[in-house]
């Protein structure tokens, strides 16, 4: 259902930072020609100095990207370390649904032993001032309870799927204790119906400032499987990484200038058909 590829793939960091398009053999004479034509003037030296400066910057940027890639690898390693040392159930299972046998993935109710419902988690970025605890996921939900839990100052809301009366799916929604702009939605069970067409259209995109962040290894996996990370850790790691890269790149004016120059030159040399 969710894409778990985020952590499985290294983002491509092989950014081509050369100014202008890659030089093909037939472009070298063009550069020579350009130089010759400019030789009439007194700007050749200045242009060469500028080119040297740009290559220096390119070199620096390449090192920066390499550093970031290394940091990414370190963080990624730490992520998987956390995944491997915290495989046991951390979240409390409802007492009424206490597991009888962890291996058999069953829990006991007053009606007997039934299969453990699949649980998945999803993180949603929201406006920190938004206390509605609404996650637009394409299904219709009816709230049936709200509680303040011990380990989190934010209330936890309980929802049941109201689209189909027989649908067994439940959802718990709570703001992250560390980050009030992050909602954690925990789904229990599987829908036995399609999404409502109305919500299909408005799913995710119409929520004010909300962005669903399918939690990579947690979300695709189920909590009964090995990747049961501390829910606070994973989004923090992801966010840290993305913010680090974005900050480093956007704060470096020479990088943005080089990108702009490269794009400009590329567009000049290969105009859209």
Residues that bind DNA (CB under 7 A): 91-98, 110, 140-147, 149-151, 156-158, 162, 170, 172
Comparing CB distances to DNA, the nearer of 146 and 192 is: 146
Cβ-proximal residues to 80 (8 Å cutoff; 6+ apart), any chain: 7
DSSP letter for each residue of 149-201? -TT-SSEEEEEEE-SSTT---EEEEEE-SS-TTEEEEEEES--SSPPPHHHHH
Contact, 76 vs 32, CB < 8 A? no
- Residue 194 has, within 13 A of its CA and on its CB side, a CA count of 4
Q: Alpha-carbon distance 38 to 47, whole Å?
A: 9
As a whole number of angstroms, the distance between CA 84 and CA 160 comes to 32
CB of 155 to DNA, least distance (A): 8
Q: Which is nearer to DNA, 26 or 151 (CB)?
A: 151
Min dist CB 231 to DNA, Å, is 13
Count how many residues are written for the chain: 273
Q: Which is nearer to DNA, 103 or 273 (CB)?
A: 103
The residue (of 21 and 117) whose beta carbon lies closer to DNA is 117
Minimal distance, residue 16 CB to DNA, in Å: 50
Residue 236 φ/ψ, nearest 5 degrees: -65, -45
Q: Which is nearer to DNA, 11 or 115 (CB)?
A: 115
- Rounded to a whole number of angstroms, the minimum distance from the CB of residue 207 to DNA is 14
| In the complex, minimum distance from the CB of residue 171 to DNA, in angstroms, rounded to a whole number | 9
- If you search the block for the tokens 């980050």, which residue do you land on? 179
Q: Which is nearer to DNA, 74 or 93 (CB)?
A: 93
Q: How far is the CB of 235 from DNA (least distance, A)?
A: 20
């Amino acid at each position: 259902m969710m894409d778990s590829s985020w952590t499985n793939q290294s983002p491509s960091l092989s950014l081509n930072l050369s100014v202008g398009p890659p030089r093909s053999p037939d472009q070298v004479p063009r550069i020579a020609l350009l130089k010759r034509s400019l030789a009439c003037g007194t700007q050749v030296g200045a242009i060469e100095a500028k080119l040297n400066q740009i290559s220096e910057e390119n070199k620096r940027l390449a090192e920066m990207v390499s550093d970031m890639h290394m940091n990414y690898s370190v963080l990624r390693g730490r992520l998987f370390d956390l995944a491997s040392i915290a495989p046991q159930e951390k979240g409390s299972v409802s007492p009424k649904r206490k597991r009888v046998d962890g291996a058999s993935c069953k829990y006991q109710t007053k009606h007997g032993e039934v299969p453990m419902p699949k649980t998945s988690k999803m993180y949603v970025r929201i406006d920190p001032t938004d206390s509605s605890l609404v996650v637009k996921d394409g299904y219709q939900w009816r709230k049936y309870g709200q509680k303040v839990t011990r380990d989190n100052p934010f209330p936890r809301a309980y929802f049941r799927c109201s689209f189909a009366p027989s649908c067994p799916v439940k959802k718990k929604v709570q703001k992250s204790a560390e980050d009030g702009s992050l909602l954690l939605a925990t789904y229990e069970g599987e829908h036995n119906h399609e999404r409502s067409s109305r919500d299909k259209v408005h799913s995710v995109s119409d929520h004010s400032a909300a962005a669903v962040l399918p939690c990579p290894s947690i979300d695709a996996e189920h909590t009964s499987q090995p990747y049961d990370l501390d829910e606070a850790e994973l989004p923090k790691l992801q966010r840290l990484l993305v913010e680090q890269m974005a900050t480093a790149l956007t704060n470096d004016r020479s990088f943005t200038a080089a990108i702009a120059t490269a794009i400009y030159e590329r567009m000049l040399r290969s105009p859209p058909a």
